[in-house]
Amino acid sequence: MTDTVLQVDGLHVAYRGSDGVVPVVQGVSFTLGREKLAVVGESGSGKTTVGRALLRLLPRHAQVNARTLRFDGVDLLAASDAQMSRLRGSRLSMVMQDPKYSLNPVMSVGEQIGEAVLRSTTLGRAACRERVEQLLARVQIREPARVAGQYPHQLSGGMGQRVMLAMMLAQNPQVLIADEPTSALDVSVRREVLNLLDELVAEQGLSLLFITHDLHLVSRFCDRVLVMYAGRVVESLAAGELTQAQHPYTQALLSAVPSLKHRRATLPMLQRDPAWSRP
């Protein structure tokens, strides 16, 4: 890993509710360079919350603090709302997990991607439309001109995810946080999207924070892995060494993945240890 662009040290996120303060992320620390860093764990482990905290997209009642939360020299905790608005999209982007809740239902796909394009360029209308179609084609959407005129409800889940990816790539960000970006894609399209992300990391120096449940995908696609449990990072290792993981939680996740080569009558259940959630 070289050229660290993101430093996270001791990140804590909590929500205040009727029963008091509930911690959801507890002391997460990592760095991100020009690489593909995976964050894995069960639903509710805090993966997405970490990504949203980096862009300051959590609800106002969320309590966020850290010893260090820095992107390319910018203190993300101390940055003003205006600074964060300039950073989001143009330098620091996130592809949300469910496009149904991220795309504007009353604007066409082309209009929404066009807004992202025009935030960083001064293209005319025709040139902007051409750029939108190029971005849609780049994420393996056939007939990009037709799709650009459609509305989100007319798209499948996989199409919606590719549209979100095209929108995030419109401004050539330095860091892309991808939250389950291939979960609704079929195998062939997923391969093409992963190849595109690989190309962006290799050729344009993109830093990728890849949030996923797919451990097999992580071992083949990413460089490093952070394993989260109950808001904490319990293990950090090279992706190629995932099968040699030492923490019992990581081992349990791997053993629960079905195998086409070794058939089992039942998959093992995860036996949790309260010690895993303690520092």
Sequence ranges of the domains in the chain:
99-172
| Rounded Cα–Cα distance for residues 87 and 153 (Å) | 29
| All residues at 6 or more sequence positions from 192 whose CB lies less than 8 Å from its CB, including other chains | 140
Predicted confidence at residue 172, as pLDDT, reads: 85
| Rounded Cα–Cα distance for residues 13 and 21 (Å) | 10
Predicted confidence at residue 114, as pLDDT, reads: 94
Of 147, 191, 196, 142, residue with least CA distance to 169: 196
Beta bridge mates, 93: 176
* Other C-beta atoms lying within 10 Å of the C-beta of residue 268: 9
Instruction: Kindly calculate the radius of gyration of the chain based on its CA atoms and give it in whole angstroms.
Output: 19
Predicted confidence at residue 45, as pLDDT, reads: 92
Tokens standing for 178? 């991808």
Interior/surface letters 186-218, b for 16+ CB within 10 angstroms, e for the rest: eeebbeebbebbeebbeeeebbbbbbbbbbebb
Predicted confidence at residue 279, as pLDDT, reads: 75
Predicted confidence at residue 263, as pLDDT, reads: 77
Low-confidence ranges of the chain (pLDDT < 50): 1
Please give the C-alpha separations between residue 53 and each of 57, 70, 77, 103, in angstroms, as whole numbers.
6, 12, 9, 20
Interior/surface letters 140-166, b for 16+ CB within 10 angstroms, e for the rest: bbeebeebbeeebeebeebbbbbbbbb
| Rounded Cα–Cα distance for residues 100 and 154 (Å) | 11
Residues 235, 30 contacting (CB under 8 angstroms): no
Beta bridge mates, 220: none
Helical H segments across the chain, by residue range: 47-54, 81-87, 109-118, 125-138, 144-148, 157-169, 187-204, 215-221, 248-255
pTM here is 0.89
Tokens standing for 90? 């143009």
CA–CA–CA angle 38, 84, 57 (5° rounding): 55
Predicted confidence at residue 272, as pLDDT, reads: 85
Residues 109, 163 contacting (CB under 8 angstroms): yes
